[in-house]
Amino acid sequence: MNKILVFAFAAFMVGCDSPVAETESHSVTIMTFNVENLFDNEDDAGKTDETYFALSDKQSEKHKATCNEIEVERWRDQCLDWDWNDEIIEHKMSVLAEAILQVNDGIGADIIALQEIENISILERLRTEYLADAGYLPAILLEGHDIRGIDVAFLSKLELANEPTLHRPDFSGFEERRVLDTRGVLQADFVLPDGSTLTGFSVHFPAPHLPIEMRDVAYDHLNELRSGLPTGRLAFAAGDFNTTAKEDREQNMLDKHVRPAWTVAHELGCGDCKGTQYYGWDDTWSFLDMILWSGGTDSGAQATWNIRNNSVYVANGAPGQVRDDGTPARFQLPEGTGISDHWPLVMSIESNKNKAL
């Protein structure tokens, strides 16, 4: 069953080589943003969301026992000690709104692919309390099977051409505990300003600590979905692909799975952007977050859209997005500092008809 809603808000436009705001009717801006755990503080049955409770609800022996089973010390301490109270949730949503709407002079990207949204309820709160004025249509979120409860979603100012679909990759053969730590691919078909159809895939691939073969499966699944679209269909895939720079360098992941079927947006030029995510333990930057573009190949309207020159950038100019050392500022408690450990990536597409204007 579809779970649908809208975001809206207003902010400013800054970032790494930020381009001029989009004003032409035949241009569309696309953003991808892993928002790092946008959770409410209610218990979602069947999900391991115990970290995201108010501290007053974490005092039972049952809760403490559950947290103490977590192997990673930092995550265990968060489960035990974080006070995910109403005020913190409100602050989290307000800073996410600033980060999202730093694009297009405060009105936001036309389409946003989102990752790590717990449920439709918290998305609805973000829409009604913080993002009410940017013109987004009801957003698309279909509940997935991830054990943590984090879902992929879309926000769009473009109408849907038909019902969205959540596609689940076939991870058979892998351990169940690992399969439960994965997300599906959310497909939504949007109506472009000239009436043609643009298919978007919002993705969140298996994490780097999981076997590389699981990411192989996820890439193959995405490419099968792309191949199954009508001939000439414009398409993009956006999200957290969880392919580190080291993995790509050693395993040729993008050569194997992405090129030449897709154009990797940030490779067209992103100023001095180093990446969207930073690992301090080995001092490396990666574009874990990517936007992949696949233009139409038939005649007519479907072949008239391309990536706009110099339009790709990392949106990291909102207050609180950058640490003193220049790396992404994850959301931290108890201080309530930071926003997300990922920076959004933005690109624009335009109709070739605009070039004659």
The CATH number assigned to the domain holding 296 equals 3.60.10.10
User: Model confidence at 251, in pLDDT bands (50, 70, 90)?
Assistant: very high
SS (H, E, C) the chain: CCEEECCCCCCCCCCCCCCCCCCCCCEEEEEEEEEEEECCCCCCCCCCCHHHCCHHHCCCHHHHHHHHCCCCHHHHHHHHHCCCCHHHHHHHHHHHHHHHCCCHHHCCCCEEEEEEECCHHHHHHHHHHHCCCCCCEEEEECCCCCCCCCEEEEEECCCECCCCEEECCCCCCCCHHHHCCCCCEEEEEEECCCCCEEEEEEEECCCCCCCHHHHHHHHHHHHHHHHCCCCCCEEEEEEECCCCHHHHHHHCHHHHHCCCCCEEHHHHCCCCCCCCEEECCCCEEECCEEEEEECCCCCCHHHCEEECCCCCEECCCCCCCECCCCCECCCECCCCECCCCCCCEEEEEEEHHHHHC
pLDDT digits 0-9 by tens, 265-324 = 999 988 889 999 999 989 999 999 999 999 865 444 445 799 999 999 999 999 999 999
Does residue 52 lie within any of the structural domains? no
Name the residue range of residue 205's domain.
3-41+85-356
pLDDT digits 0-9 by tens, 59-93 = 999 999 999 999 999 999 999 999 999 999 999 99
Residues 218, 325 contacting (CB under 8 angstroms): no
Please report the pLDDT score of residue 2 as a whole number: 43
Does residue 61 lie within any of the structural domains? no
Please report the pLDDT score of residue 18 as a whole number: 45
Please report the pLDDT score of residue 355 as a whole number: 54
Looking at the structure of the chain, the number of domains it has is 1
Does residue 79 lie within any of the structural domains? no
Percent residues over pLDDT 90 in the chain:
78
Does residue 47 lie within any of the structural domains? no
Does residue 90 lie within any of the structural domains? yes
pLDDT digits 0-9 by tens, 158-190 = 999 999 999 999 999 999 999 999 999 999 999
Does residue 62 lie within any of the structural domains? no
Does residue 127 lie within any of the structural domains? yes
User: Model confidence at 125, in pLDDT bands (50, 70, 90)?
Assistant: confident
Does residue 238 lie within any of the structural domains? yes
Percent residues over pLDDT 70 in the chain:
89
